Amino acid sequence: MAYATESDLPGNDRPVKISIRNVFKVFGDRPEKAIELLEAGGTKSEIHAATGCTIGVKDASFDILAGEIFVIMGLSGSGKSTMLRLINRLIEPTSGSIEIEGRDVARMPRSELIALRRRDISMVFQSFALLPNRTVIDNAAFGLEVAGIGEEERRQRARAALRAVGLDGHDESRIDQLSGGMKQRVGLARALANEPTVLLMDEAFSALDPLIRTEMQDELVRLQAEHSRTIVFVSHDLDEAMRIGDRICIMQNGEVVQVGTPDEIVLKPANDYVRSFFRNVDVSQVFRAGDVARRTQVTIIERQGVSAAAALERMDHHDRDVAIILGRDKRYHGMVSRSSLIRTNRDGASDPYRHAFLPDIEPIPASESLSNVLGKVAASAFPVPVVDEANRYLGSISKSALLETLDRSA
Amino acid sequence: MTFDIGDGVDSAVNYVLDNFAPLLDMIAAAIGAVTNSIQATLLATPMVLGLAIFVLLSLWRVGLGFAVFTALSLWLVEHMGLWSAMMETLSLVLASTLVAMVIGLPLGIAMARNDRVAAGVRPVLDLMQTMPAFVYLIPAAMFFGLGAVPGTIATVIFSMPPVVRLTNLGIRQVHAEFIEAGNAFGCTATQLLFKVQLPNAMPSIMAGINQTIMLSLSMVVIASMIGAGGIGNTVLTGIQRLDVGTGFEGGIAVVILAVILDRITQSLGKQRAGLWRALFHRQAQQPLASPATA
């Protein structure tokens, strides 16, 4: 299968929360026949012509880690919403297993499934799906009411959930009195009220206008920071995915094409379909300084007894105006230019480099987002060095390299 | 080649009469109890109290203008000497609507939940609505005797289909997202029905009940032919004696009852109307502040 690499980021030591293995979903009356054809290599349209069945999800396998925001992305019809509904079995899978902490949702009896939905999984909908005959607080308390929790306690917990999502003082309002953003806060409160460990969000912010959408994304990230849940978020918007996603799963025609961190998706897109998503994305938000840094500058290891002449010689040889001075442990010490070296050398200083360091050059941490780097690189006369958290030199960013990066992705 | 369906129906009716007499008596007793107790209550209610109840209901559910209309039109009915006839008719309408709801609501729910039930019930409903009433009036009288009971049953047959159909339709038209939300939060099938489907189908169900009431009013005259009594009798007498005036008085009384019942029951599916709200629920309307920003 063409699904790709797991990431090496910290956080990958999190335990697996949801494990999806070889999941198929075929809509129609003859799913066995359709799967047979699928395994024989038939395309979606061939199978539809032969059996009348539609392939919703085709052989999906991936893991969702505890406490991460996992974004499922794809165009409409790519099977992303179907995939989400397979996790809480609002849609029955045709085959395969969907294990939540080792328990297979696809095969559990109805009573166990209902208990799971009441306790562990809740859902937020694109169109809010708030019940119009109930007040705000009764909507927020809906899951608790269904679970058989007493009036007093469920109202209290619903009120706490409403407060947590920033919706105070509208408890007794009717749903049609609320704005879209407020409605989705109620939707979120309803989903959080029973304190689930898994939150499924189906294009939850897509119906909101851009400003409110950003606000809600921030709200979600804030809630996640306060109390970590496993969030599976379906979106068709890469900006949103990049903004909130720890990892992104890209689906195309019912298949999982790539799973990876936002960086991995942008840097190593699995195919043109994936690439097409970020054609319009603001790459300066996605890339980090470390992604763009190149080791094209002359580096000089600072050692006892090395004269400036050798450095000048190497700079001449590589036709560079500057050189990076490193320690033996590759730690960044400073940057020198040809003229500063010549000047200090003429003075006959004992430590030829240290006095030649260019004063205005500040190394940039690798984790800095490119949008923050742009200004510094533009203002600097020289390439700007990039270091990791241990101050080790990773490379430098020149104006031309930066332009190239922005251009490649535009 | 000809089929003699009529003979078959005759023998079927006779078979039922011969073999199911106790069952028929039980049904008659049950419906009779409902009809008679409603009728006794309504007839025992003093006219002034009855009028006051109608006027207050009109004021509460519809509005001041309609309350005035109710008061004047009921006063007219009283002065035509048709008050107690109208109460008899009302009891027939209420009893048959009650029976239609008791049978019709569960049937509509069953249709909504199962396509096969729906496919099976639909032609029966068509039959009930289109079969001329006189055709089943006679067997109804044969099975249940003369009086209010066969009148109620004949009325139920004719007036039940809308409440069944609109209950089914209302539940089926509940947005899929509400059903999904209900399921996603762990509703059992029963919880889904009572917490999600029925509340959201309410306007449609109330429209069905309203239609059932209207149709049962239109059966008033026909039902009086087998002794159901009420305003139907007045109209029937007018027809039999070619007394246009009497018939017209009865007709006016039926129309007045129909208008009042229609407006009041229509309002049940909606939010409460203006005046009452303005008078007694002022505190419920509070302006909303802008969304809380975190």
pLDDT tens by residue, A28-74: 888 888 888 888 887 878 888 888 888 899 999 999 999 999 999 98
**Contacting B residues, span 183-202, partner chain A, CB-CB under 8 Å:** 183-188, 191, 195-196, 199-200, 202
Query: Would the CB atoms of A122 and B185 count as touching at under 8 Å?
Result: yes
Confidence at residue A408, expressed as pLDDT on a 0 to 100 scale:
56
- Check whether residue A233 and residue A334 sit in a common domain: no
| Number of folded domains that form chain A | 2
Interface test with A, best of B185, B187, B188 (most A CBs within 10 A): B185
Q: Which domain holds residue A375?
A: 290-409
Among B177, B188, B294, the residue with its CB nearest the CB of A166 is: B294
Confidence at residue B67, expressed as pLDDT on a 0 to 100 scale:
93
State the pLDDT confidence band at B136, using cuts at 50, 70 and 90: confident
Is A125 a domain residue?
Answer: no
Task: List A16's β-bridge partners, or say none.
Answer: A65
Return the residue of B nearest to A114 by Cα. Answer: B186
Query: Would the CB atoms of A117 and B184 count as touching at under 8 Å?
Result: yes
| pLDDT higher than threshold 50 for residue B283 | no
- Check whether residue A305 and residue A361 sit in a common domain: yes
Return the residue of A nearest to B202 by Cα. Answer: A133
Cβ-proximal residues to B236 (8 Å cutoff; 6+ apart), any chain: B221, B224, B225
The 10s digit of each residue's pLDDT in A251-285 is: 988 899 999 998 888 888 888 888 877 766 666 66
Confidence at residue A277, expressed as pLDDT on a 0 to 100 scale:
76
> How far is the CA of A327 from the CAs of A151, A296, A314, A391, B11, in angstroms?
68, 18, 17, 11, 112
Confidence at residue A41, expressed as pLDDT on a 0 to 100 scale:
80
Q: How far is B2 from chain A (nearest CA, A)?
A: 44
The 10s digit of each residue's pLDDT in B177-193 is: 999 999 999 999 999 99
Query: Would the CB atoms of A90 and B291 count as touching at under 8 Å?
Result: no
Query: Would the CB atoms of B175 and A129 count as touching at under 8 Å?
Result: yes
Interface test with B, best of A82, A127, A223, A234 (most B CBs within 10 A): A127
Is A8 a domain residue?
Answer: no
The answer to whether the beta carbons of residues A126 and A201 sit under 8 Å apart is no
Among A127, A131, A143, the residue with its CB nearest the CB of B186 is: A143
Confidence at residue A211, expressed as pLDDT on a 0 to 100 scale:
83
Report chain A residues touching chain B, CB-CB < 8 A.
85, 88, 90, 114-119, 121-123, 125, 127, 129-133, 142-143, 145-147, 165-170, 173, 177-179, 181-182, 185, 190, 194, 200, 215, 219, 222
Task: List A62's β-bridge partners, or say none.
Answer: A20
**Rounded mean pLDDT of chain B?**
87
Give residue for tokens 């539609």: A54
Please indicate if any CB of chain A lies within 8 Å of the CB of B177.
yes
Query: DSSP secondary-structure letter at A261?
Result: -
Among B187, B199, B291, the residue with its CB nearest the CB of A179 is: B291
Q: Which residues of A169-199 are buried (b: 16+ CB within 10 A; e: fewer)?
A: ebeebebeebebbbbbbbbbbbbbbbbbbbb
Chain B neighbors of A165, CB-CB under 8 A: 294
Angle, helices B83-113 vs B198-218, to 10°: value is 140
Query: Would the CB atoms of A122 and B184 count as touching at under 8 Å?
Result: yes
Give residue for tokens 């995939």: A83
**Rounded mean pLDDT of chain A?**
85
Is A33 a domain residue?
Answer: yes
Confidence at residue B279, expressed as pLDDT on a 0 to 100 scale:
55
Last residue of a domain, one of A281, A305, A333: A281
Chain A neighbors of B184, CB-CB under 8 A: 88, 90, 117, 121-123, 200
Is A336 a domain residue?
Answer: yes
The 10s digit of each residue's pLDDT in B52-78 is: 999 999 998 888 999 999 999 999 999
Cβ-proximal residues to A284 (8 Å cutoff; 6+ apart), any chain: A369, A370, A371, A374, A406
Chain B neighbors of A115, CB-CB under 8 A: 186
CA A71, A74, A76, A80 torsion-angle sign: negative
Q: How far is B189 from chain A (nearest CA, A)?
A: 10
Give the pairing of strands A16-27 and A95-100.
antiparallel
Is A133 a domain residue?
Answer: no
State the pLDDT confidence band at B289, using cuts at 50, 70 and 90: very low
| pLDDT higher than threshold 60 for residue B294 | no
Q: Which residues of A326-348 are buried (b: 16+ CB within 10 A; e: fewer)?
A: beeeeebbbbbbbebbeebbeee
Is A219 a domain residue?
Answer: yes
Query: Would the CB atoms of A173 and B288 count as touching at under 8 Å?
Result: yes
CA A248, A253, A256, A259 torsion-angle sign: negative
Spatial CA neighbour of A69 closest among A208, A161, A166, A199: A199
- Check whether residue A294 and residue A242 sit in a common domain: no
Among A146, A168, A178, the residue with its CB nearest the CB of B185 is: A146
- Check whether residue A87 and residue A206 sit in a common domain: yes
- Check whether residue A272 and residue A321 sit in a common domain: no
Q: Where are the domains of chain B?
A: 21-270
Task: List A385's β-bridge partners, or say none.
Answer: A396
- Check whether residue A250 and residue A110 sit in a common domain: yes
Q: Which two tokens stand for residue B216?
A: 């049962």
Is A165 a domain residue?
Answer: no
Q: Which two tokens stand for residue A16?
A: 């697996």
Cα gap A49→A67, rounded to integer Å: 42
Confidence at residue A107, expressed as pLDDT on a 0 to 100 scale:
92
- Check whether residue A337 and residue A248 sit in a common domain: no
Q: How far is A400 from chain B (nearest CA, A)?
A: 41
| pLDDT higher than threshold 80 for residue B3 | no
Report domain B21-270's class. mainly alpha
| pLDDT higher than threshold 60 for residue B6 | yes
The 10s digit of each residue's pLDDT in B206-260 is: 999 999 999 999 888 888 888 888 899 899 999 889 999 999 999 999 999 999 9
Please indicate if any CB of chain A lies within 8 Å of the CB of B272.
no
The residue type at A219: E
Is A274 a domain residue?
Answer: yes
- Check whether residue A320 and residue A255 sit in a common domain: no
Query: Would the CB atoms of A88 and B291 count as touching at under 8 Å?
Result: no
Cβ-proximal residues to A26 (8 Å cutoff; 6+ apart), any chain: A34, A35, A38, A53, A54, A55, A56, A94
Return the residue of B nearest to A88 by Cα. Answer: B184
Give residue for tokens 């762990």: B186
Torsions phi, psi for A197 (to 5 deg)? -95, -20
Q: H or E element: which one contains B58?
A: helix B47-61
Return the residue of B nearest to A219 by Cα. Answer: B294
- Check whether residue A392 and residue A310 sit in a common domain: yes
Last residue of a domain, one of A281, A316, A343: A281
CATH at residue A59: 3.40.50.300
- Each residue's pLDDT, cut to its tens digit, for chain A (410 residues) gives 334 444 444 445 788 999 999 999 999 888 888 888 888 887 878 888 888 888 899 999 999 999 999 999 988 888 999 999 999 999 999 999 999 998 999 999 999 999 999 999 999 999 999 999 899 999 999 999 999 999 999 999 999 999 988 888 888 989 988 988 899 999 999 999 989 999 999 999 988 888 888 888 988 988 888 888 999 999 988 888 888 999 999 998 889 999 999 888 888 888 888 887 776 666 666 677 877 788 778 888 887 766 777 788 888 888 888 888 888 888 888 888 888 888 877 766 667 777 788 888 888 888 888 878 888 888 888 888 998 888 888 888 888 878 877 765 54
Spatial CA neighbour of B219 closest among B108, B104, B144, B137: B137
Query: Would the CB atoms of A129 and B177 count as touching at under 8 Å?
Result: yes
Cα gap A308→A323, rounded to integer Å: 11
Confidence at residue A322, expressed as pLDDT on a 0 to 100 scale:
86
CATH at residue A339: 3.10.580.10
Query: Would the CB atoms of A125 and B181 count as touching at under 8 Å?
Result: yes
